[in-house]
Every structure is written in C-alpha cells, then in structure tokens.
Amino acid sequence: MRVKKSVAKFLRWQHVCRVATRSRGGVPHVVPVCHVFDGEKLYFASAGKAQKIQNLRANPQIAVTVDVYADDWSLLRGVMVQGTAALIERGARFRKIRQLLYEKFPQYPEEAALGAGDVIVEVTPRRIFSWGIDE
C-alpha cells in the first residue's frame, strides 16, 4: 500500500504509538510501544511472551494509532493503521530493524536491549486513516 508523504513523515517522527490486538477469546488489548516506520511498514519490538505477541500469534490482525493531542482541538492530528502483523524472531531482518530502533531510540540498547526471546513485529498496512495532517 502506498503511504502519502505527509502521513509517512508523521509516522517517522512520532515516538509512541498504541497497538491494539485481540485475544483468541476476543478480548481487546491496547498498549503503547515505541516504533519505527520505514516508509512502507511499521515496526516495534516486544518480549516474546508479552500478551500482545500471544494475541498476534493467534490472530495477526492489528491496529496502530499514532496521535498528537492539543488543548486546541483544531491542532489534533493522527494516523490509524489497520493491517496484518508478522513476527520476526531472529536473523538479518531482526538485526536490521533492531538497528533502526536503536538509532531512533538511543536508550534502547541499555534500557531494553533486544535479543533472544524478543520479537520484532512488522505491521503491513491494509488501510490508513489520518486526521489533521496536510494531504
């Protein structure tokens, strides 16, 4: 899916998104994570035993919201991505995305180094909705 330049720029520069998954029993689960966006796909990392990863193993459908709040509501802006998640658990792709996360978030290597047992989630957008972003 082609992502508009203004939306891609917004996704690249923001530091926190909220990830929504659903358990096998249909229970919603929403958590904040730190992400990177490469122009086509969004990535974030997690412990392999985390609830969101268990949910994605059962159901790869995912929604991600990146937004900025302002008391002046005319300044509200954000993006919601609905898509499919793939789990990357090791190998060259894992190392490549881990490096992108480490570059964007310099505290990552010391505060939450990614290694054995961790997972990188690759989100492939199927639908993108945006508000307050110049088209």
Contact 130, 66 (CB under 8 A): no
What are the residue boundaries of the structural domains of the chain, listed by start?
5-129
Q: What is the pTM (predicted TM-score) of this model?
A: 0.94
Q: What is the average pLDDT score of the chain?
A: 94
Q: Give the mean model confidence (pLDDT) for residues 80-88.
A: 98
Dist CA 111 CA 107 (whole Å): 6
CATH fold group of domain 5-129: Pnp Oxidase; Chain A (2.30.110)
Tens-place pLDDT, residues 18-38: 999 999 999 999 999 999 999
Task: Sort strands 16-22 and 28-37 into parallel, antiparallel or unpaired.
Answer: antiparallel
DSSP letter for 105, please. -
Question: Given this model, what pLDDT does residue 135 score?
Answer: 58
Helices (H), 18-129: 51-58, 92-104, 108-111
pLDDT per residue as tens digits for the range 26-81: 999 999 999 999 999 999 999 999 999 999 999 999 999 999 999 999 999 999 99
